[in-house]
Structure 1
Amino acid sequence: MKRKRRSKCVSYAKWGYIFLIPFFLVYFIFQLLPLISTFYNSFFENYRVGLMQIGPKFVGLQNYKEILFNSELPIYLKNTFIIWMMGFIPQMFFSLLLASWFTDLRLRLKCTGFFKTVIYMPNLIMASAFSMLFYTIFSDVGPINNLLNSMGLPTYRFLSEVAGARGLIALMNFLMWFGNTTIVLMAGIMGIDTSILEAARIDGANSIQIFRRITLPIIRPIMAYTLVTSLIGGIQMFDVPQILTNGNGNPDRTSMTVIMYLNKHLYSKNYGMAGALSVILFIITAILSVAVFKYVTKDMVNVGEKKVKKAKGV
């Protein structure tokens, strides 16, 4: 009788799980446990008055009611949204413009690698250093005002005007992140099949029509990703306005963001209110992210459903 030879198969699946252990371990210790702790502390009254410690005392949803109905959270949410929009709109415009230029083979641009490096470099600079640089340049006795005075123009107090303070914060966020957004959008555009673009040019479509009718619809998932991540980053905006306005959100707290408001509670050792505010921001961020993603990708889902129905003959 011939013995059946059993082929020895080596399973590498276990190694994949082993390599994932460090990630899950770090995530559990530094993210999941703090998240659970924040949610737990949000139900307690726990703060310090001078040298006296109040609590922890279980108060249920009292911290949430205090923040939602008796605080200035809507004002700080409005400030955050305005500053984010002031930086995000030009960021998307210039990023799309640069990405389309760098990926257009007909232009034959030279030194594209150098320019990509230059526009990405501000993303590598620490936000604190960037903020101190802008604080020095746009101060009342800084180089910009000295230039204005030499031209016979009056001194403009950038950090004492609402438009000036918000504009500087938005400008810094734009400069720090438009390079990263450009690289991401370039990756999406470079993934488009060149035969589609060539066929459109043969049919007589110009560059603007190709960009509007072909490029934008195809890279919509990348744009949705960029929009959601930028929205999350905008809600978490802290370091730039904190340093530029010395933590006060001047003038008259018009540039104070929600994370700066959260930091006030943490600084005052009011852990219960800080925990409740963190949970509320987490819920707001999740709702806005899902809503934006659904809105941006709804046309793609509708087109996919129509193709499925057509294939089934419905």
Structure 2
Amino acid sequence: MNKKSKVVRYNKWGYIFLLPFIAVFLVFQLIPLVTTIYNSFFLHMEDGLTVVGPTFIGLKNYSTIISNGDLPKYFTNTMIMWFMGFVPQILLSLLLGAWFTDPSLKLKFQRFFKTVIYLPNLIMASAFAMLFFTLFSDMGPINDILKNLGVIKESYQFMSHVWSVRGLVATMNCLMWFGNTTILLMAGMLGIDPALFEAAQVDGATATQIFYKITLPLLKPILIYVMITSLIGGLQMFDVPQILTNKTGDPMRTSMTLIMYLNKNLSVGSRNYGFAGALSVFMFILTGVLSLIVFKVTGKDDKDGR
């Protein structure tokens, strides 16, 4: 009986230590989420000093989002720019991770290089976007270099072409996040038993065979985690295209993302809380569905049931 009471007494401290997390979760996540869903069923707008609502309108905000055709367009923009940045990011991170964790290479100054590749992740996205805006402007240094090399005769308007803007956004996202992805993949690679590599080398396996047959399969959980978190971050893409295009999403709104669209409905002077709430719910559902698809596609068991 005394032992049971001691167990209960010890368990009590676990619940006490969980209280701060529960309080923060309730105040900053669960309550805002429920409030957002609740507001999505109301007409509630502010246009300057004029306030309309809140008036219950049911699913009208949702039907408006579906009927106006903006959601598919901005979702496509977001996914294109995320995919363009994620593919080179994961390939570069895998290459660097394999390079840094290969003991046979005996690389010097590893700590220095690891620090350098992680530094872009510490730079504010707004500063990164302003840097690229300056570099690739019509009178910027990139155009000057290309003209001096004879590649172009007149300045190329990077900000006026669809794929150049999307490419710049993807490049910035890749540069900012490949260091973080490299660190995660390196941690996964270092956690693999070295005896597996030694046995493969004894059996005559090449470095390429070892990477594809041992490293990649054992990295699967880390790769799934990286893909899911990157996908969620891609859906929330905002600051880089917002600053690079001066909040317009130009040319022709082809770089307008979902969060930019959401922010547009919550801008100062003209706020549409109900519509923004419905859009947030759509984004929540999209995030859940896409994450589930990734889990289903990448989480299939092997033929032997593993």
Cα-to-partner distance string for 1:144-183 (whole Å, 9 max, x where unaligned): 1111222232311111111111111000000000000000
Counterpart for residue 47 of structure 2: 49
Give how far 1:20 is off: 1.7
Counterpart for residue 127 of structure 1: 125
Cα distance in 2, alignment partners of residues 39 and 176 from structure 1: 33
Secondary structure of 1:192's aligned partner:
coil
- Cα distance change of structure 1 residues 7 and 85 upon mapping to structure 2, 3 Å threshold: closer
Give how far 1:17 is off: 2.1
- Cα distance change of structure 1 residues 111 and 12 upon mapping to structure 2, 3 Å threshold: farther
Counterpart for residue 189 of structure 2: 189
1:1-40 map, 5 Å: 12-40=10-38
Cα distance in 1, alignment partners of residues 285 and 114 from structure 2: 36
Cα distance in 2, alignment partners of residues 236 and 51 from structure 1: 30
Counterpart for residue 150 of structure 1: 148
Q: CA RMSD in A?
A: 1.7
Give how far 1:43 is off: 0.2
**Paired letter, 2:15:** Y
Q: Is residue 270 of structure 1 aligned with residue 284 of structure 2? A: no
Secondary structure of 2:266's aligned partner:
helix
Give how far 1:295 is off: 1.0
Give how far 1:299 is off: 2.9
Cα distance in 2, alignment partners of residues 275 and 123 from structure 1: 31
Q: Is residue 89 of structure 1 aligned with residue 87 of structure 2? A: yes
**Paired letter, 1:125:** I
Cα distance in 2, alignment partners of residues 49 and 193 from structure 1: 62
Counterpart for residue 165 of structure 1: 165
- Cα distance change of structure 1 residues 48 and 112 upon mapping to structure 2, 3 Å threshold: same
Counterpart for residue 296 of structure 2: 294
Counterpart for residue 242 of structure 2: 242
Give how far 1:50 is off: 3.8
Please report the TM-score for the alignment, with normalisation by the length of structure 2.
Answer: 0.94
Cα distance in 1, alignment partners of residues 16 and 110 from structure 2: 41
Q: Is residue 260 of structure 1 aligned with residue 264 of structure 2? A: no
My pick for the range that moved more, 228-237 or 131-140, is 131-140
Cα-to-partner distance string for 1:95-144 (whole Å, 9 max, x where unaligned): 00000010000111111111110000110111111111111111111111
Give how far 1:25 is off: 1.0
Secondary structure of 1:53's aligned partner:
strand
Cα distance in 1, alignment partners of residues 244 and 4 from structure 2: 67
**Paired letter, 1:123:** N
Secondary structure of 2:299's aligned partner:
helix
Give how far 1:7 is off: 11
Counterpart for residue 115 of structure 1: 113
Secondary structure of 1:266's aligned partner:
coil
User: Over alpha carbons, which structure has the higher Rg?
Assistant: 1
**Paired letter, 1:56:** P
Residue ranges of structure 2 left out of the alignment (5+ in a row): none
Please report the TM-score for the alignment, with normalisation by the length of structure 1.
Answer: 0.92
Cα distance in 2, alignment partners of residues 142 and 170 from structure 1: 20
Cα-to-partner distance string for 1:80-105 (whole Å, 9 max, x where unaligned): 01100100000010000000010000
My pick for the range that moved more, 141-150 or 279-288, is 141-150
Identity in percent: 60
Cα distance in 1, alignment partners of residues 274 and 119 from structure 2: 40
Runs of 4+ in 1 over 4 A off after TM superposition: 5-11
Give how far 1:243 is off: 0.5
Counterpart for residue 311 of structure 1: none
Q: Is residue 215 of structure 1 aligned with residue 215 of structure 2? A: yes
Counterpart for residue 70 of structure 1: 68
